[in-house]
Amino acid sequence: MDIKKTTNVELLAFYNKHCGELNLARIEKFESRKDAVQKVTDMVDLLGDEKSAPKKKTKEPKAPVTNEQLRANISAGVVETWKDPVVAAKRKERHAVMINGTDMFQSVLAAYIGLNLNPKDHIKFRKGLKLEPIGTSVKHLGAQWTLIPFADYQEAASAQKAADREKADAEVAV
């Protein structure tokens, strides 16, 4: 045990704990660090037991968190957030995007891909776009982007498919 590395508080606690064994008076504080080390060293010599010397408190190292544990903690937290009805409702909402009032895409990512933009950049923009009320246009990369309810996109896509089928049937009939 290295008494010189032990804190003054620990030395004082050790001294007061063992002062009765040597008929010494308890003290409230040492006059100096040097005084503390000297008195405790003398006490240990008189007690004759190095094992009773104050031990430096050491923090036990924490075991590193494994990826599995981290995923489990995150998963548990996500499960808890789904229990909030407001959060659950927001997460279940799906939106499509309309650009310049005419071109519709099923998602911001689909729009980025369809417009030959870097798909890696879409997440940051999508987060900002979702902060706006549905139907509000936002200028981005020289175009007006508007979130629309996904049902509107599906309806328009179905109508477009029906029109395309009719056109194809008409061409075949000719």
C-alpha to C-alpha distance for 68 and 76, rounded to whole angstroms: 12
Please, which residues have CB within 8 angstroms of residue 88's CB and are 6 or more apart in sequence?
82
Backbone CA torsion sign across 5, 8, 10, 15:
positive
Residue 1 is which amino acid?
M
Predicted confidence (pLDDT) per residue in 22-32, tens digit: 888 888 888 88
Contact between 104 and 158 (Cβ < 8 Å): no
Tokens 């407001």 belong to residue: 86
Q: Taking residues 2-19, report their average pLDDT.
A: 85
Burial class (CB in 10 A: 0-12, 13-18, 19+), 41: middle
The mean of the pLDDT values for the chain is: 81
pTM score: 0.46
Residue 57 has pLDDT above 70, yes or no: no
Q: Taking residues 46-57, report their average pLDDT.
A: 60
Element (H, E) at 56: none
Q: Structural domain boundaries of the chain? A: 3-52, 92-173
Q: Taking residues 109-134, report their average pLDDT.
A: 85
The DSSP letter of residue 171 is H
pLDDT at 49: 56
Residue 53 has pLDDT above 70, yes or no: no
- Take residue 96 and report the two structure tokens written for it: 């499509």
pLDDT at 156: 80
